[in-house]
Structure 1
Amino acid sequence: MSEEQGAVIGINLGNTYGSIACINQHGRADVIANESGERQIATRIAFNGDQVYHGNEATPQLVRNAMNVIDNFVNLVGRPFDSLLEEEKARKSSPVLNKDNVPSFEVESHGEKKVLSAHDVLVRYIGVLYGAAKDFMSGVPIVGAVLSTPSWYTDAQNAAVFQAAQDAGLRVLQLVPASAAVLAAYGLTAPSAKGDLPAHPDGEQGVPYPADKVLDRNVVVVDFGGTSLDVSVYAARAGVYAQLAYTHDKTVGGRALDDVLVQYFAKEFAKKTKITIGEQDARAWAKLRNEAEITKRALSASNSAQCSVESLAEGVDFSGSVNRMRLNLLAAAVYQTAVADVQKAIEQAGLEPCQVDEVVLAGGASRLAGLAEQLSMLFPEDGNTHITYSIDSDQVIARGCAVYAQSLVHLPSQSAEREFVHSLPREKEALAKQLEVPATTRPVGLVLDDPKDESVAKQVVDGHLFVTLVPEHTAVPARRVVRLPVARGAEASLLRFAEGTPKVRVDFVKEEPLDDEDEEELEPVEVRTAYVCPEASRLVELVVPHSAEAKAITVHVVIETTGQVRIEARVDDSAEVAAQATLGA
């Protein structure tokens, strides 16, 4: 059977939840629901007598049967036991054991003790996802899958995930970083049939990118998952993405938000009933945590949510509520840490927030409005930074994996592209070397006289405005085309090309008092503006002759892998080159 004779799926293999996506009949990626109607399936397996519970069905077992529940096992696969941190071993469910230096779990099933390695549990879990996909496909064979893994995974961890998926019966087409799957889900890396890239991130009704940012943008992917935060900074250049920086923080995530809700509701329970939940009352804490997570999810869709627990402690029921504003106050420290991590990654990339064009959110915890609100404060109010989250953030990675899988199986058979993709190594260092391409180190663009336009006034340097045609970090060979208007009645135009240096301008703007009677002087507000400072020496000055009736000049800039720069100028729709120059090797 050929790959085209069946379906492919994408799997987001998270440490707290997993999900599956496929391409529907309309060619769009959809997340699959299991037989219980759940699209987010907890990475949890529980054993109780002769029963085995998987996914969300295993969650209630944490209350009465916690020692036979295995969860948070995905990140343990492919790692020796002695490499685990104490916080990774600590859990309220089945403890992590050392079995020949392999992270393992001991549970009781059918009246007997059995030891399962993290690998064994992952094989079972992937089998559950695979089974849900097969049920959904109703007999259509699944011929391949793409799975996501975090960028911080080692080669050993990726190899272990690959092997576990194969042991579960899946044919693995490729493992991809979660951030790459996010970009694929939005179609940002895939040109249309016309060769055009998306002009806006949020669908046809979304806010369009600024004209000069459709091809070339600096993009930050923020993956706020259940147990960690991953931030990746990319230079997006005409559909080719180069990673500039990456940070991973295990201290923040959806579980940290659960923690603040649990503590809040525990205090509310104590206020209402005068009963304090004891530290050793594991059952009460498990009940409250399960309900707090449900409350957190409800807050992503509504402004307030209830938390009700039957017989929470000493046989007393609890019912409380919380709204988004209260959660944002409770979780302020978590969000501030997340924003600081984003800022750290941007700095590692050699950028400032005002130089970021787009922030894409992923991970279930980012469905809450608090993260987007806090992130928006990091970027200038009058800037063009767009925060993108039109696809459900807990579905975007799985959808991207499905899109990725579909693109792989639709590569023409016997084509050089397919041969290249299948020949790529799985080891990270070897893969990076294989995919490494030369890139520009400085922007190349046009130097214009000050256009006296307020929208770009802060980008003018010594009476000149630099218009970037080919930004830094652009993979070469590269081509950019720009169409310039011609001054009315002119019979020639002078085009000045130069390299530039990206910089940030800092202005302090004095704010006006809100009240006329308020005599207190407000602190000036710092405003940062990104711009490019042109080099004093020009690469070339090109004189383009044309008639007085000419309306526009089309400029083609081509940079070869050798570093050679070719510039051609054509007048109006003419195919003839009116002026040209070749620079470098």
Structure 2
Amino acid sequence: MWGHSQVVCTMTESAGAVIGINLGHSYGSIACINQHGRADVIANEDGERQIATRIAFNGDQVYMGNQATPQLIRNAPNVIDRFVNLLGRSFSDLTDAEKDRASAAVIDHNGAPAFKVTIDDKETVLTAHDVAVRFLRSLFLTAKDFLSGVPIAGAVLSVPQWYSEAQIAALKAAATEAGLIVLQTIAAPAAALAAYGLTSPSGPGKLPSAPDGVESAPYPHGKELDRNVVVVDMGGSSTDVTVVAARGGIYSALASVHDSSVGGFALDQALINFFAKEFTKKTKVTIGDSDKRAWAKLRNEAEFTKRALSASNSAQCSVESLAEGIDFTGSVNRMRFDMLAGPSYGKVAATVEKALQQASLEACQVDEVILAGGSAKLTGLVDRLSMLFPEESETTRITGSIDADQVIARGCAVQAQLIAATPSENVEGKLLSSLPFKPAAEVAELKAAATSKPFGLVLDAPKGSDDKQVVDGKLFVTLVPAHTPLPVRRTYRLPVAQGAGQVALTFAEGDETVRVDTIAPPPADEDDEDDEPLEPEEVKTAVTKPAAKVVELLVALKSKGAKKLEVEIVVDASSGVSVTAREEGDKDVAAQAKA
């Protein structure tokens, strides 16, 4: 798995329940495996599955999560939020934007980021670590209450792809102090992929069967085990885009881009500005810059409005006594909101394009886009992302059947269950227990050599074929794609022409390229003078053409009644290729070659 771990206890499934935790910068969530074997996100005592990463203090009262949100209006200096990304960092590393907030100010405490608040009439300094311990302990207690008596034997926590070793260590230390047994930390995009079980075989010798959650649609033929995937994680404070090669349930990151300038807060701000103008237009009253209480009220309601728009076509924003004692009620429909959010959606699309460029891929070479993060639920973002990919593409899917704000926690629970079910004495268990808590890119055990080019079967295309995949009369059928971790073994069953006595097979490496076809626009209507001439359209298609010939096999068949040929391809760790062919059901090798 693509993560970092160290199993700190000997455990089995009978030792108790395991949980997954997504501790986001804006919201946190907890998931566990239900009685049907599926991952579910746990609701807290207020019925909330998305819990604001926020703590507030008022006298001797402590408010956790969403209960702390109203305190931003009444008692903002004693509200601590946006603390997660401060873990494991020094105060001097923080940007002005990270320090600027309407809640408790970030201060320097012996070089570490901290907050000064009043608790029970006493001025108290809490470091980011102290706050994280308190919040994680509340999540732990929520899980314990939900599981009512079942011990919690361990947890898997998600971390952003860009987290450093110091940040991972700081999160683990806070979770451990909060009472959790940390089994593993896993990169957020890997958790999203694990939630879907993307390209993971459904059993020995079986192809993956559920690519899209519960309401699954079948994989396109030939794409069951191998898919190029883009994970778009749009959270509250930032957006992360990761390009992944998913190969038989093994995930390799090809590129990752972090953009801290766009997230749910930017969408909230667009709504805040819109409603503030509406208020001024209706009442002739302008909300002053110094009226922090009014802006806090509007900010809280704008977030609720945004969430409502993810599920309906219109939503209201109602604020009692917004400014100068005047109430405000406004509404916005989804079309207007998408216009307001357009610049943010454009930034996310640009981040996707940047990540694809770093991965040396074109949009037409992407098979799937996975949505994660609360803001990714918005239909306007999905519409904007769909513009990046070819309209006629039948393979590029934007997948969000698992709620985007739940998918990471659920993936962590899936990984926790996998660890719990792995005996500690076998090879896999020993590997899990030996992995350090570091970014995946820095863990030698998680690095594997991979194919740099695809390997496949070369066929002569029928004369006059208009298949876009045909290059110079040859059709390349990919059997082992690029970026497949080594060693790899693949077995295919190829049909044999009726009555054939022998079969000639040619295998080669391939060169991946993009074919660009220019489609001329339809002729303009001469009677309509207002019509502007249309531009020619460029259509891009991913194409693989044969490069170096590697292996040729001439297979003599024992009987002319053979219907299928079983071909096994093995590429070892040093990139040596072995191809073996036998008639289906026959143990004897009919032909073999190595290169």
Question: Which TM class, normalised by the smaller chain length?
Answer: over 0.9
1:290 equivalent to 2:294? Answer: no
Distance 2:271 2:527 in 1: 42
> Which residue identity is paired with 1:78?
G
1:426 correspondence with 2:437:
yes
CA contact (8 A) 1:424 1:431 kept: no
- Tell whether 2:103 aligns with 1:89: no
| Structure 1 position 183 matched with structure 2 position 197 | no
1:528 aligned residue: 540
Which residue is 2:51 aligned to? 41
Structure 1 partner of 2:246? 236
Task: For 2:576, give the aligned amino acid.
Answer: Q
Q: 2 CA distance for matches of 1:540 and 1:407?
A: 39
1:344-383 aligned at under 5 Å gives the runs: 344-383=354-393
Shift of 1:514: 8.8
1:557 to 566, 569, 580: 569
Matched, 1:139 2:149: yes
Superposed CA RMSD: 1.7
**Cα displacement (A) at 1:27:** 0.8
TM-score normalised to structure 1 length: 0.96
CA distance in 1, matches of 2:215, 2:549: 42
* CA–CA distance in structure 2, aligned partners of residues 429 and 209 of structure 1: 28
Please state how far the C-alpha of 1:181 moved relative to its aligned partner.
0.7
2:590 to 573, 578, 581: 578
Q: Residues of 2 paired with 1:19 and 1:531: CA distance? A: 42
> 2: distance between equivalents of 1:364 and 1:156?
26
Counterpart selection for 1:543 from 547, 554, 563:
554
> Among 150, 154, 161, which residue is 2:160 paired with?
150
Distance in 1 (alpha carbons) for counterparts of 2:523 and 2:491: 47
C-alpha deviation, 1:240, in angstroms:
1.2
Q: Does 1:310 align with 2:320?
A: yes
Residues 148 and 181 of structure 1 are in contact (CA less than 8 Å); yes or no, is this contact kept in structure 2?
yes
- CA shift, 1:431, in A, is 4.7
Q: Give the corresponding residue for 1:385.
A: 396
Amino acid at match of 1:576: D
1:170 and 2:180 matched: yes
Q: Residue 200 of structure 2 contacts residue 225 of structure 2 at CA under 8 Å; is this kept in 1?
A: no
Give the drift of 1:372. 1.1
Task: Label 1:433 to 1:12 Cα distance change in 2 as closer, same or farther (>3 A).
Answer: same
Q: Do 1:237 and 1:474's aligned partners in 2 also have CA atoms closer than 8 Å?
A: yes
Q: 5+ residue gaps in structure 2?
A: 1-9
Return the offset for 1:203.
Answer: 3.7
Out of 566, 569, 572, the position equivalent to 2:581 is 569
1:452/1:113 CA distance change after superposition, 3 Å: farther
Distance across 2 between alignment mates of 1:331 and 1:452: 51
SS in 1 for 2:88: coil
Query: Contact 2:435 / 2:443 at 8 angstroms: preserved in 1?
Result: no
Name the counterpart of 1:125: 135
Partners in 1 of 2:440 and 2:422 — Cα distance? 25
Answer yes or no: is the 8 Å Cα contact 1:223–1:362 preserved in 2. yes
1:445 maps to amino acid:
G
Distance 1:401 1:368 in 2: 23
Moved more, 2-11 or 59-68: 2-11
TM-score (norm 2): 0.95
Residues 152-202 of structure 1, C-alpha deviations (whole Å, 9 max, x = no match): 111111111000001111111111111111111111264323453433422
AA matched with 1:571: E
Which residue matches 2:485? 475
Map 1:203-214 → 2, pairs under 5 A: 203=213, 205-214=215-224
Alignment of 1:213-232 (within 5 A): 213-232=223-242
For residue 202 of structure 2, the aligned residue among 192, 204, 216 is 192
What letter matches 2:208 in structure 1? Answer: P
Aligned mates of 1:516, 1:200 — CA distance in 2: 52
Matched residue SS, 1:78: coil
C-alpha offsets along residues 70-122 of structure 1, whole Å, 9 cap, x if unaligned? 00001001100000000000000000001111101111111111111111001
Structure 2 residue identity aligned to 1:148: S
Equivalent residue, structure 1, for 2:457: 446
- Identity of matched residues, %: 60
| Deviating more after overlay: 88-97 vs 457-466 | 457-466
Q: Name the SS for the 2:574 alignment partner.
A: coil
Where 1:538 maps in the other structure, the secondary structure is strand
| Residues 233, 246 of structure 1: 8 Å contact kept | yes
Q: CA deviation at 1:553?
A: 1.9
Q: Is the Cα contact below 8 Å between 1:3 and 1:144 reproduced in 2?
A: no
- Structure 1 position 381, deviation (Å): 1.0
The answer to whether the Cα contact below 8 Å between 1:197 and 1:239 also exists between their aligned partners in 2 is no
- CA-to-partner distance for each residue in 1:345-392, whole Å, 9 max, x for gaps? 011011111001111010000011111111111011112201111000
Partner Cα separation in structure 2 for residue 29 and residue 205 of structure 1 = 15
Greater relative contact order: 1 or 2 (C-alpha under 8 angstroms, separation 6 or more)?
A: 2
**2: distance between equivalents of 1:572 and 1:165?**
54
Corresponding position: 1:496 with 2:506: yes
- Counterparts in 2 of 1:513 and 1:6: CA distance versus 1, 3 Å: farther
Contact 1:188 1:197 in 2 (8 A): no
Q: Deviation of residue 515 (structure 1)?
A: 6.5
Query: 8 Å contact 1:449–1:463 — kept in the other structure?
Result: yes
1:500-515 equivalences in 2 (<5 Å): 500-512=510-522
| Deviation string, structure 1 residues 300-320 (Cα, Å, up to 9, x no partner) | 111111111111111111111
Structure 1: how far apart are the matches of 2:516 and 2:388?
15
**What is the rounded CA distance, in whole Å, between the counterparts of 2:543 and 2:84 in structure 1?**
44
Q: How many residues are treated as equivalent by the alignment?
A: 581
Structure 1 515/54 Cα, relative in aligned 2: closer, same or farther at 3 Å?
A: farther
Cα distance change on mapping 1:488 and 1:429 into 2, 3 Å: closer
Counterpart of 2:478 in structure 1: which amino acid? Answer: T
1:21 matched residue in structure 2: 31
